[in-house]
Amino acid sequence: MNIDVLISNLTNPVLLFFVLGIIATLVKSDLKIPESSSKFISLYLLFAIGFKGGQELSHSEFNAEILYSILFAIFLSVIVPIYTFYMLKSKVGIPNAGAIAAAYGSVSAVTFVTSVSFLENQGITFGGHMVAIMAIMESPAIIVGVILIMVNDSTQKEKKSIGSIIKHSFTSGSVLMLVGSLVIGLIADATQARGIEPFTTDIFKGFLSLFLLEMGMVTASRIKGFKKYGLFLFFFGILVPLFNGMIVAYLSGFITESAGNRFLFAILAAGASYIAVPATMKLAEPRADAGIYIPMALGITFPFNITIGMPIYFAIVQLF
């Protein structure tokens, strides 16, 4: 691994604001981002990354690489929940195993956004279709996770319809904003779209910094309640994403030659959802303990990926 890349990532102002958020909670500071502002920032980030991706996609010709990328993404979002579920069900029970499996098979939009910033710092380009890939990977993992619970839990009397689960996964606010912005960016007139570039580009990293400041505070507050579940889930939250990211960083080389696309594939495989999955699982499987899978995704996997994981996946892409 290139130590310069690691140092550059660890001293990135965006990441340092995440650390500041952790420190603020540990010292019991009254620093707080208002809830309404937090929701706006979240929507802004999804809007900006979706719209920019749609614009990039509008300039791309649909070809075999994009088709293979979509199929590869769907495969990942199905296989990861399956193997993680069977690793977990004897440790945390079927409902929790299904929720965790769905989270780790799905993607983290904020990790993806941070990775885009990482690529920009390295001067590496990527295809606009990767934003569509991120959106595509959200729902299959959630659906697979719920199906695994239904199939394995003979005591569950109330079965949620697959149709309602699919509908909720696509109409979830975060997914709808991301997909909607992508479609608008795809069909928008290029000349007209340039008029909002200062909003989607120039202030992007500033809003990302504020968002990660809050994520740092949330991480530090929720990780305390996670300690009672032991070291198994802690190591799971690091080693499983690391394995997924490293394997996909290599395998993606058979799909695309683009270093940027391969790196983003690795990030998508390594990330864990803490937005779309909790919202969906609250409806589909209320028995699953959000006090387990949210701290795992947000307090362990997310900080690992944006500090140590990204340079590792990037190094593998460069090596192979």
What's the 3-state SS for 223-270?
A: HHHHHHHCHHHHHHHHHHHHHHHHHHHHHHHHCCCCHHHHHHHHHHHH
26 inside domain: no
Q: What average pLDDT does range 80-109 have in this prediction?
A: 93
Give a yes or no: residue 299 inside a domain.
Answer: yes
Contacts of 253 (CB under 8 A, 6+ apart): 262, 317, 320
| 141 domain-assigned | yes
**How far apart, in whole angstroms, are the C-alpha atoms of residue 240 and residue 181?**
31
Is residue 97 within 8 A of residue 88, CB to CB? The reply is yes
Question: 239 lies in a domain?
Answer: yes
CA 5 – CA 121 distance, rounded (Å): 10
Mean pLDDT is lowest, of 66-75, 222-231, 253-262, 287-296, for 222-231
Residues 116-170: tens digit of each pLDDT: 888 988 889 998 889 888 888 877 888 888 888 888 876 655 556 667 766 766 6
Asked if residue 27 belongs to a domain, the reply is no
Contact (CB, 8 A) for 119 and 12? no
Burial class (CB in 10 A: 0-12, 13-18, 19+), 8: middle
Residue range 156-182, pLDDT digits in tens: 555 566 677 667 666 767 677 877 888
Q: What is the CATH number of the domain that holds 216?
A: 1.20.1530
Helices (H), the chain: 3-10, 13-26, 35-58, 64-92, 94-105, 109-122, 129-152, 162-171, 173-187, 190-193, 197, 204-226, 231-251, 259-270, 276-284, 290-295, 302-304, 310-319
Task: Kindly state whether residue 214 falls inside one of the protein's structural domains.
Answer: yes
Compute φ and ψ for 174, nearest 5 degrees: -65, -45
Give mean pLDDT, residues 229-247: 92
Residue 28 placed within a domain: no
Pick the residue with more confidence: 12 or 240?
Answer: 240
**Contact call for residues 294 and 160 (beta carbons, < 8 A):** no
Domain with 73 in it:
3-20+33-319
Count how many domains the chain has.
1
Q: Which two tokens stand for residue 210?
A: 């504020």
Q: Where does the pLDDT of residue 62 fall: very low under 50, low under 70, confident under 90, or very high at 90 and above?
A: confident
101 Cβ contact partners less than 8 Å away, ≥ 6 residues apart: 80, 81, 82, 84, 85, 88, 141, 144, 145, 148
Within 10 Å of residue 61's Cβ, how many Cβ atoms?
Answer: 6
The pair of three-digit structure tokens given for residue 241, joined into one six-digit string: 């994403």
What's the Rg (C-alpha) of the chain? 19
What's the mean per-residue pLDDT of the chain? 85
Plot region of 152 (φ>0 → left; ψ -120 to 50 → alpha; else → beta): alpha
Mean pLDDT of 263-291: 83
Query: How many Å separate Cα 90 from the centre of its chain?
Result: 26
